[in-house]
Amino acid sequence: MKATILVVDDQPMFERLIRNLFRNQIKNGLYTFVFALNGIEALDALEQNSAIDMILSDINMPEMDGLTFLAKVHERQPNLKVVMVSAYGDMANIRKAMNLGAYDFVPKPIEPEDLEATVKKTLNEMGLIRQAEQAKDLADQNEQLQKLDQLKSRFFTNISHEFRTPLTVITGMADQILEHESNWHKNEGLTIRRNSNILLDLVNQILDLRKLEAGKLELAPVQTDVITYLRVILDSFYYYAERKDIQLQFQSGISKLIMDFDPEKLLRILSNLLANAIKFTPEGGEIWVRVQHTAGRLSIVVEDTGIGIPAEYLPTIFEQYFQSPASNSRQAAAGGTVSTGIGLALVDQLTKLMGGTIIATSEEGRGTSFTLELPVHNSAQALDPDAISSDPVHVLAADADAPFIVQAQEAAGELLPRILIVEDNPDVAAFLSACLEDQYILLIARDGQEGIDLALTEVPDLIVSDVMMPNKDGFELCRTLKSDERSSHIPIVLLTARVDDESRLTGLELGADAYLAKPFSKKELFIQLKNLLQIRRDLQRRYSQPGALLPAPEPKFRYEDLFMDKIRQSVLNNIDDEDYGIPELCRDVRLSRSNLHLKLKALTGRSTSHFVRAIRLRKGHELLHTTDMTVSEIAFAIGFKDPSYFSRSYRDEFGQSPKLARE
């Protein structure tokens, strides 16, 4: 909504400053300014324009000064906010102005950022006041609804507690089984716990709806870069999309937008929208997340090529507990699970709580689009994006076609390595599983082609594969994965009944890291796996200094050295480009975002964003000790937009501030 600001100052230079400082807001239709040379002209302007949202006024002016003008404004419009502009030395008049009801003051000489922030803060306050005035007019109408709301709240509370009692029993029994019982019971316990998480998430959604209806769910806004946070949320869903061969794309018209938002609420909204998109989109489909910033509004569009929503149900999809009769069949057709009907209702309510809107459009058989719009404000406490938790909601945990990622999530706290078993004989696969399931998270493939596909999407820590299999044998699997940058670092153990030297040498020449002949002992298998995983840890130590030159070449690390050098050079070649980030790096190394993340995590123990930042910091560390550049100059030279953020990041990486490091 456009804001109208009255500026009262007898100096023409001040008008030029205002027009220049707020030129973008004027151009985009966000602000309109009305100018007056003294208090008398300003009072006339107020009479002629009832839509004034705030006033910027000088104190020392001819004919009618700012203090007299301020007093008259508050006689006529006591809620109108007036910000006084005066020199620091004029503290006596500033105190008088504040006593007369001035909302704030801006000292001269003007600091543009200070003035801009004060204007935003004042307009936000006026918006809240007007909302409160409108709400007061509706108070009588709302009184009649309170009894009904109390009944609904009582229902939500009761059913939530009814859920929590059996959930306590289920989770307690699952923990006992996982801790004390046999391997067979462990798998059953994982199933119990997984479904407990689903029920618990359902309970939390119900309780959130109850709090929303009671007006007790409060926002906890922070001020930070929402674009970075959106990318982090999407990172949690690339895996799920790739498991269904769905292409998930992020398109943003802006690279950065500092604004107020509640991270937890935005996470739940987008988690529900993305989960629905993945569940209702068949294999091979596409999902886009598009972001735009126009006229003080952030627009986030989640669009899919899924099965769509029947036209007759579209107007009611945001109603609480609504579920179309066709819902089960629609979701089954897309390979998903049955929804509860709560998610979109919660999305709608959370959106309203954040002052936004959400609309849905859909064409059955062609796809669905949700458009979320949020107001852009800047009044909350500033926060580093890395400090915000972005753990995804368990909205996809129940997918029957994704058992492996569920197991990985359940065991994540134990930090168990993930092993892919590629074996066409079910008895051998079962034997390997029985041997390994206590110490590893297992992924199972039934032939060579399925093993290749699973390895490229899951990027496990290690692969154990048979040689003689249909749809590509173990040799072809080894050749394919060892020649692909996405998987070349994964150790491979080949198992076979062919014990001749020629077969063994063939496997080793193709890049196999170990070769076990059937029958093999459990102890021998464990030793091989332990040694190969130790090589992985050696790799992480080798690449532990992201910006430094690699150690002396070693043949066994040749492919990984080339890959890491490519990563390092790509970042260093763009070191001064503050907009060079993960998408650009993915483009340069020709890997998807998820594959790059998984490979770097395996090789370095760091996420992609942290690794890129560490390369920049290592370069900054070098410049500190080899140049006379200031800390700010170094920050900008290595692609940091904020010198303060560079200093904090440097301290986190090297244990001391840049200033102390230079000394």
Question: Tens of pLDDT along 257-299?
Answer: 999 999 889 988 998 899 889 888 888 889 999 999 998 999 9
Asked if the model's pLDDT at residue 41 lies above 90, the reply is: yes
Task: Give whichever of 155-159, 201-205, 432-436 has the largest mean pLDDT.
Answer: 432-436
* Residue that wins the pLDDT comparison between 137 and 12: 12
What local confidence, expressed as pLDDT, does residue 12 receive?
87
Among 57-71, 335-349, 389-403, 431-445, name the most confident range: 57-71
- Tokens standing for 521? 């002992």
Contact criterion met (CB below 8 Å) for 497 and 611 = no
Sheet holding 54-58, edge to edge: 31-36, 3-8, 54-58, 81-87, 104-108
| Strands, sheet with 462-466, edge to edge from the N-terminal-most edge strand | 441-445, 418-422, 462-466, 492-496, 514-517
**Cβ atoms of 342 and 212 closer than 8 Å:** no
Inform me whether the pLDDT recorded for 553 exceeds 60.
no
Report residue 336's pLDDT band, with 50, 70 and 90 as the boundaries: very low
- According to DSSP, the β-strands at 514-517 and 258-261 are unpaired
Q: Where residue 382 falls among pLDDT bands split at 50, 70, 90?
A: confident
Residue with tokens 């010198």: 643
Residues listed for the chain: 663
Least confident interval from 94-108, 160-174, 263-277, 283-297: 160-174
Beta strands in 376-461 (DSSP E): 418-422, 441-445
- Per-residue model confidence (pLDDT) at position 355: 93
> What's this model's pTM, rounded to 2 decimal places?
0.38
Place of tokens 């007006």: 215
Please give the average per-residue pLDDT across 581-585, as a whole number. Answer: 88
60-74, 186-200, 387-401 — which is least confidently predicted?
387-401
Q: What percent of the chain has pLDDT over 70?
A: 76
304 beta partners: 287
20 band by pLDDT with thresholds 50, 70 and 90 = very high
pLDDT level of residue 377 (50, 70, 90 thresholds):
very high
Other residues' Cβ atoms within 10 Å of the Cβ of residue 136: 9
Sign of CA dihedral 196, 199, 205, 207: negative
Distance, in Å, from the CA atom of 568 to the CA atom of 139, rounded to the nearest integer, reads 61
Q: Give the whole-angstrom CA distance, residue 469 versus residue 461.
A: 22
Predicted confidence at residue 194, as pLDDT, reads: 57
Q: Are 353 and 217 in contact (CB under 8 A)?
A: yes
Q: What is the pLDDT of residue 603?
A: 82
Listed in sequence order, the residues at least 6 apart from 180 whose beta carbon sits closer than 8 Å to its beta carbon are: none
Phi-psi region at 512: left, alpha or beta (left = phi > 0; alpha = psi -120 to 50): beta
Which tops the pLDDT comparison, 210 or 215?
215
Per-residue pLDDT, 368: 94
Given this model, what pLDDT does residue 446 score? 87
Residue 255 phi, psi dihedral angles, 5° rounding: -90, -20
Q: Residue 464 pLDDT more than 90?
A: yes
| pLDDT, position 600 | 84
Flag the least confident range among 92-101, 170-179, 367-376: 170-179
Is residue 555 scored above 70 in pLDDT?
no
% of the chain surpassing 90 pLDDT: 25
Name, in order, each residue with C-beta under 8 angstroms of 359's C-beta and a sequence gap of 6 or more: 370, 371
Residue 46 in tokens: 């107020």
Count of CB atoms situated within 10 Å of the CB of 193: 21
Residue 157 pLDDT grade (very low, low, confident, very high; cuts 50, 70, 90): low
Mean of pLDDT values over 235-250: 83
- Which residues fall within 8 angstroms of residue 574, CB to CB, at 6 or more apart? 580, 584, 639
Instruction: Please tell me the predicted confidence (pLDDT) of residue 401.
Output: 37
CA–CA separation, 157 and 362 (whole Å): 34
Spatial distance between the Cα atoms of 514 and 461, rounded to a whole number of angstroms: 15
Tell me what the mean pLDDT of segment 315-320 comes to: 78
Tell me what pLDDT residue 354 has. 92
Strongest mean pLDDT among 69-73, 171-175, 435-439: 69-73
Give the mean model confidence (pLDDT) for residues 644-660: 88
| Distance set, CA 368 to CA 143, 161, 247, 306, 310 (Å) | 38, 35, 15, 7, 10
* The pLDDT value given to residue 409: 37
Average pLDDT, the chain: 79
